[in-house]
Chain A
Amino acid sequence: MIEKDALKSLDEKKKNWEKKAEKLRQVKSRPRFITVSGEEVKELYTPEDLKNFDYNEKLGLPGEFPYTRGIHHTMYRSRLWTMRQFSGMGTPRQTNERYHYLLNHGQTGLSVAFDLPTLMGFDSDHVRSLGEVGKCGVAVDTLADMEIIFDGINLGEVSTSMTINAPASILLAMYLAVAEKQGIPFAKLRGTLQNDILKEYIAQKEWIFPPRPSIRLITDMMSFCTDHVPQWNTISISGYHIREAGSTAAQELAFTLADGFAYIEAAIADGQDVDKFATRLSFFFNAHQDFFEEIAKYRAARRIYARRMRDKYKAKDERNWLLRFHTQTAGCSLTAQQPENNIVRTALEALSAVLGGTQSLHTNSMDETMALPSDKAALIALRTQHVIACETGVVNTIDPLAGSYFVESMTDKMEADAEKYLDEIDRRGGVLKCIDEGYFQREIARAAYRYQQEIERGERIIVGINDYLVEDEVITIPILKIDETVEREQVASLRKIKSGRDNDKVKRTLDDLAMAAKGNGNTLKAMLDCVRVYATEGEIVDTLRPIFGEYIEPPII
């Protein structure tokens, strides 16, 4: 990257510089110089750090192997990232209204947040759902709820992302059934399911069945979509929650990629052709506060993925070497104190995602440590993306930080650290084995505890938490309250659906699903029949539970 003579002259200059710096080092503006992940950062990066750097091998051109600089040839000059704000709350009707509001304000994709009972496979009238219905997202019990959520929205024209994991097949089946009713062919549907059950065991912990049958539900879905819903992204392999649970950036990167490779291996073992399904896998990363560390993470992710897809999994189609990803700014970086500061945090995090080449982005609202976003906070969050896209100039050129001594060194280090973890996971017998043994869970819990201790020792300053406090602060931003009547309304509408449907048909389709699950039938296909006759999500899960078993967490503290 740099000529020998220049390096030599730099070396001499550095000796001189070192003498001057030595004295100044006695004074430190910060107690330690570490990243959010606890990695030491040097005070200066120079061409010496990139001595054997081979541009073509490490970076190449955008849209070309190894895609470090981005997956498209022209990146944001041709097309901005998708601005996709995750939302959903209360009843299906309220969610439908929020979607119309966001679409009218320039949002370009929908993203559905479900409530906890829906995520865990309980109907709204289940005893475990008490107090939780409609709280963290929208409640969905039957196809009727999905019909209301997408009322007046043409499913052939929007792309929809659904954040659902353990019961993902059921919700996809409902979405497909809504499309049928709208007269839209499956082949025209675009969207993404999160459907990443592995990270549930690792980090988010919204599971139902044990890992092995859960993987089977996923491979069934992948094969159904390959045949019938070819534009649908079946899994969004998520590091977001791993990071939120307290992991470091390198752990987020490595564990997420390891999960991705585990799905790929499972589908290959199921007899599927990697070139047929891999284009529909995408990733989902966190954008945390350490600006350069995050950018390095995204760049390293693309490089590792491209190499493995080409060399290890032998994908022939170049499109399968691309790591496409969605980013969400870090919820765990937000503070309840001086919540307006969260707007600034989110903006900086979003900027790192854009500089890292994200394909879509969710920016958090300032009030998320207190409640679901108010309309005002949600709009500011969306406008943050508009400001980055239109006013900062960062979209003018592709991967503007490439060639920075620091960013390239950090990208290399991130890659090496992630590779080390990937080797360790292999050594331990693979992702499922590591989940069984609680390896990921333990690594993350330790990192989270270390981070908290660093804050409490004052080695890390979080504005408004351990410095720059405001005494007797009064929170003045509006806080959204979920109406406590939502639960009653939702339970009433569920009862109505149940009393109006053909229960014989429901029983027949559920029996067929049980048969498929016990044998080799495609479970998604069977679920589609169940939801068409308004079987509830809970009934479908209850049908599968005795066949697949239930997951119990390992005691990792």
Chain B
Amino acid sequence: MSEKIRVLLAKPGLDGHDRGIKVIAAAFRDAGFEVIYTGLRQTPENIVNAAIQEDVDAVGVSILSGAHMTLFPAILNLLKEKKADQIILFGGGIIPDEDVAALEKSGVDKLFTPGATTEETVKYLREAVAKRKRDEKII
């Protein structure tokens, strides 16, 4: 049978600007992905816990409050700590170029900034998931 792309979309931090993440959610659904949306103001701990339980291929995080340099590293660290760093972390928001570079260097797979299209995002996620190999034996 087919292996569906499953992706968790989350909104950490305190801002309530969910227009972007909801547009992405709809675009992912239309691309045939299963999108788990966990709502506003999730703590990094909740996000990582949900990602593991849902066994998602990727976690997409939207931050527009300026707290990205605190929140992305927190999520990355938790993923590592819980040995779940096979899960791809990507995101979007109002993030200055230098911060994008720093975060992508530290392990965030990809960051989208204003003006990115849903098409780009869909294409990115398909390729990122396809590239990733799981090293595991089920039985």
Contacts and interface: CB of A to CB of B under 8 A. Distances in A.
Q: Are any A and B Cβ atoms less than 8 Å apart in their complex?
A: yes
Interface string A450-466: 00110110000000111
Interface in A366-407: 369-371
Interface residues of B, number: 33
B93 to A, nearest CB: 10
Main secondary structure of the interface of A (DSSP, over half): loop
A369 B18 CA distance: 15
Nearest to A444: B19
> Which of A129, A244, A369, A484: most chain B CB closer than 10 A?
A369
B30 to A, nearest CB: 9
A200 B16 CA distance: 9
A456 B122 CA distance: 13
Contacts of B39: 553, 555
Contacts of A371: 66, 94, 96
A204 B96 CA distance: 23
A53 to B, nearest CB: 37
B3 interface: no
Interface string B33-49: 00101011101000000
A475 B97 contact: yes
B26 A136 contact: no
B19 A448 contact: yes
A484 B68 CA distance: 12
A449 interface: yes
Interface residues of A, number: 45
Interface string B102-122: 000000000001110111000
A316 interface: no
B67 interface: yes
Contacts of A207: 16
B37 to A, nearest CB: 5
A479 B99 CA distance: 13
Contacts of B19: 244-246, 332, 445, 448
Contacts of A246: 19, 23
Contact of B65 (A116, A204, A553): A116
B75 to A, nearest CB: 12
A308 interface: no
Contacts of B18: 205, 245
Given A371-B96, A557-B37, A135 B16 contact: no
B132 interface: no
Nearest to B70: A131
Interface string A188-220: 000000000000100011110000000000000
B13 interface: yes
Nearest to B117: A456
Contacts of B37: 555, 557
Given A245-B19, A553-B40, A335 B13 contact: no
Contact of A205 (B27, B40, B69): B40
Given A119-B14, A132-B14, A448-B23, 18 more contacts: A117-B14, A130-B70, A135-B65, A206-B14, A206-B15, A244-B17, A335-B115, A336-B114, A337-B115, A370-B94, A370-B96, A445-B22, A452-B118, A455-B117, A456-B118, A465-B115, A475-B97, A553-B39
Interface of A: 116-117, 119-120, 122, 128-132, 135-136, 200, 204-207, 244-246, 332, 335-337, 369-371, 445, 448-449, 452-453, 455-456, 464-466, 475, 479, 481-482, 484, 553, 555, 557
Interface of B: 13-19, 22-23, 25-27, 35, 37, 39-41, 43, 65-67, 69-71, 94, 96-97, 113-115, 117-119
